[in-house]
Amino acid sequence: MTAPVKKNDQLSVYIEDLTHDGAGVAKVDGYPLFIQGALPGETCTVHVLKPLKNYGFAKIVEIEEASPHRVEPPCPVFNSCGGCQLQHLSYEGQLAWKQKMVQDVMQRIGKLDVTVHPTKGMEEPWNYRNKAQIPFGMNGEVPIAGFYKTKSHAIVDTERCLIQTDEADAILSGLKPKLWALGLQPYDEYTKRGQLRHVVVRKARATNEVMVVLVTKKRKFPQKDAVVDTIRQLIPNVKSIMQNVNPDNTNVIFGNETVNLWGETTIEDHIGDVRFEISARSFYQVNPIQTEVLYKQALDYAALTGNETVIDAYCGIGTISLFLAKNAKHVMGVEIVPQAIEDAKRNATLNGFTNTYFEAGPAEEVIPRWFKEGKEADVLMVDPPRKGCDNALLETILSERPKRIVYVSCNPATLARDLRVLEDGGYKTKEVQPVDMFPHTAHCEAVAWLELV
């Protein structure tokens, strides 16, 4: 196929849709052009940047007819920062697009004619993230901190992020000018010099407790006491200051060693009436308000009466498990990260649950063994990573046939793929509920309810 456009062509196009990462999609004789910043329903003059065999990229020259849902992005670095993709789309427009996106993948990938409800959004979709991972670096001789450009590790220097907490902003704006006085040089990915790689800020919404984690190249760094004092001055409600050591040449944020610099080693948060202790490397949903919405939806679909045994695959630190334990006879959780399982056990004890069991290991190995040992499940809860469920787990589900499945997904495309497998194996998808966990981004979570036919 020869592309119907050439590099540097300028043409008028109609924007039909958005990609999974928020770029506009236009078709020229069936050939897709991806256009950053364009919105569905708009007519734009575009300049072709890079035509490939099956698709191409273009940029907006002029918006000839704007979408009624187009708004002015409030963030001054929106066009360069990769954190948000949809600030130029009204929040009502975002919720409608996310519902349509889930509907589209259900039909296109899953071949499913299933009810997809309107997306459950937030009343105030700003300052919602309870965790900020702030990279520090150098711009010549000047320290910078902010967030990465789209598809890049170049740092966009910023003083404030509209979707993060005030405490994260205090680190963004307040720590940079003090670094040289503290003798703490930011790490440079290219020269491999410097110490401070990231600062991770976690805040518990229910208790207002804050944890700050300094990710450094080496365990030893100058003036630790002065650094701790500076952080305490910037964030008066900080409860825990930790250090994580990552000496490797890697894009992974955390290393294997974590030490306490000051205060407690955990902070406590509540989702509904369930309490959670959160450590430096715990997985914990970043939007606490919408997490409660998401988990209540999962609990509704589980339809527990108090007599059921539930298996929670990919249980993390036990957040969904403990929600289920309030209404189930017994809950068994499995997670591949051993530290998360220790957190889950501790959180079960913290809340006084005696009807839970947690085990570390791959879900696709542990759950088949449980079934072979004679354990049974009335309800299976799955909340896998973006890649979806492992094939071995899907095969186990189809062989053991629990009556009900609740599938919590952070990637609607792999959800649709896995639902197709489960439907072909004898399940019926009753409905799907999108939940907006990440306003102003192209990400969308969804909960699916399946019953054995």
**All CATH 2.40.50.1070 domain ranges in the chain, comma separated:** 131-271
| Percent of residues in the chain assigned helix, strand, coil, to nearest 5 | 25, 35, 40
CATH placement of domain 131-271? 2.40.50.1070
Closest CA to 244 of 279, 277, 278, 219: 219
Listing DSSP states for 13-79 in one string gives EEEEEE-TTS-EEEEETTEEEEETT--TT-EEEEEEEEE-SS-EEEEEEEEEE--TTB---S-TTTT
Name the phi and psi angles at 170, rounded to 5.
-65, -35
Phi and psi based region of residue 114 (left: phi greater than 0; alpha: psi -120 to 50; beta: remaining):
beta
Residue 324 tokens read as 């289920």
Q: Is 352 helix (H, G, I), strand (E, B) or coil?
A: coil
Q: How far, CA to CA in Å, does 204 sit from each of 172, 376, 410?
A: 19, 36, 22
Q: What is the DSSP code (8-state) at residue 208? A: -
Per DSSP, the three-state class of 239 is strand
Are the C-beta atoms of 279 and 343 separated by less than 8 Å?
yes
- pTM here? 0.93
Q: How many residues does the chain have?
A: 453
Contact in structure between 45 and 25 (CB atoms under 8 Å): no
Give the separation between CA 22 and CA 28, rounded to whole angstroms: 19
Contact predicate 271/295, CB 8 Å:
yes
The CATH fold assigned to 99-122+287-452 is Rossmann fold (3.40.50)
pLDDT of residue 41: 96
Looking at residue 425, what DSSP letter applies?
T
Our answer to whether residue 410 is catalytic in this structure is: yes
Domain at 10-65: CATH code: 2.40.50.140
Cα–Cα distance measured from residue 99 to residue 434, given in angstroms and rounded to the nearest whole number? 6
Q: Kindly report, as residue ranges, where domains of CATH 2.40.50.140 are found in the chain.
A: 10-65
Helices (H), ranges, 202-269? 224-234
Residue 173 sits at the vertex; the CA angle it makes with 286 and 256, to the nearest 5 degrees, is: 50
The residues of the chain scoring below 70 in pLDDT are 1
User: Taking the CA atoms of the chain, what radius of gyration do you get in angstroms?
Assistant: 24
* pLDDT value at residue 353: 97
Among candidate residues 44, 161, 315, 410, the one labeled active-site is 410
Select from 289, 279, 363, 287 the least CA-distant residue to 321.
363
Query: What residue spans in the chain does CATH classification 3.40.50.150 cover?
Result: 99-122+287-452
254 Cβ neighbours under 8 A, 6+ residues apart: 215, 244, 246, 280, 281
- Give the pLDDT score at 1: 61
Six token digits for residue 359 = 């085990």
In tens, the pLDDT along 329-338 reads: 999 999 998 9
How far CA 92 is from CA of 85, 103, 436, in Å, comes to 15, 17, 11
Tell me how crowded residue 387 is: count the other CB atoms within 10 A of its CB: 8
Tokens of 396: 């186990």
Structure-token pair, residue 73: 């992005």
Beta strands 56-65 and 379-382: pairing type? Answer: unpaired
